[in-house]
Amino acid sequence: MGEPAIKLGGKRKSVFMDKVKELLPEGGNLDLCLTCGACSSGCPATGIGGMDARKFLRMAALGMDEELLKSDWAWHCTMCMRCIYVCPMKINIPQLVFNVRGSRPREDRPKGILGSCDMALRNDTCSAMGATEEDFQFVVEDVLEEYREAQPEFKDMQAPVNKQGAYYFLNQNSREPVTEPDEMVPLWKILHLVGADWTYGTKGWAAENYCMFMADNEAWKHIVEVKAKAVDDLGCKVWLNTE
């Protein structure tokens, strides 16, 4: 017979499990797994690299931190939280995944996520595409003018930028003004038709936060603080994030 695929070297303690237990009430319920498989059945990442949510949790419980850290499966997890919703014991597997991500050296994390996070940190737009405040405002005003002329029924439609005291502060995925500007318009039309009082801000307008997905807590915090300050500075009451 061949060598077993997984070797268990006695009792090992999981640093990842300990971190989650310290952070969350009831330790995230990580010790309550019934191995029912409900998490895996609804997980969009199940089967990728021969891994699933239940196996991931069991490996952590067995102290297989090194194997989990080497696996890329944690980066395929969408953090959709579906596993928690279907789990009868409400086990917080995404928090476990997040800690595994954060334990990998920053330079070894996926280059796409890393690059997008670093790009968002470059200026106060928080855009993962690197769009500046001036670029964003120009695109919004240009697209708005185009649609007002092309569709007379929306000749009074607004897409305000930096409107002081607006009720809603709207975030926008930064890919759209950079590569698909027309994709911004349907939401503008909805807001126009319902008479919403809203605005973009030139600062903090980008909706995405790749630093969160990269498990970079300090960078994640910075991005959120910049966006929250932009909302407060304009005196808006509600922050609408399209992500």
Are residues 196 and 228 both part of a single domain?
A: yes
Are residues 98 and 119 both part of a single domain?
A: no
Are residues 51 and 67 both part of a single domain?
A: yes
Which of 35, 69, 104 corresponds to the end of one domain? 104
Identify whether 6 is part of a domain: no
Identify whether 180 is part of a domain: yes
Q: In terms of Cα–Cα distance, which of 110, 129, 109 is closest to 119?
A: 129
Identify whether 156 is part of a domain: yes
Are residues 138 and 221 both part of a single domain?
A: yes
Are residues 44 and 23 both part of a single domain?
A: yes
Q: In terms of Cα–Cα distance, which of 65, 80, 66, 86 is closest to 19?
A: 65
Are residues 116 and 234 both part of a single domain?
A: yes
Identify whether 88 is part of a domain: yes
Range of the domain at 207: 112-240
Which of 77, 104, 131 corresponds to the end of one domain? 104
Are residues 47 and 160 both part of a single domain?
A: no
Neighbour-count burial of 125, counting CB atoms closer than 10 A to its CB (0-12 exposed, 13-18 middle, 19+ buried): buried
Are residues 210 and 181 both part of a single domain?
A: yes
Amino acid code (one letter) for 160: P
Number of domains in the chain: 2
Neighbour-count burial of 96, counting CB atoms closer than 10 A to its CB (0-12 exposed, 13-18 middle, 19+ buried): buried
Identify whether 9 is part of a domain: no
Identify whether 82 is part of a domain: yes
Per-residue pLDDT tens digits of the chain, which is 243 residues long: 455 444 444 455 667 677 666 655 565 577 788 889 999 998 999 999 999 999 998 888 888 888 988 999 999 998 899 999 999 988 888 988 998 999 999 999 999 999 999 999 999 999 999 999 999 999 999 999 999 999 999 999 999 999 999 999 999 999 999 999 999 999 999 999 999 999 999 999 999 999 999 999 999 999 999 999 999 999 999 999 988
Identify whether 1 is part of a domain: no
Which of 104, 135, 164 corresponds to the end of one domain? 104
Whole-structure pTM over 0.85, yes or no?
no
Identify whether 7 is part of a domain: no
Are residues 63 and 125 both part of a single domain?
A: no
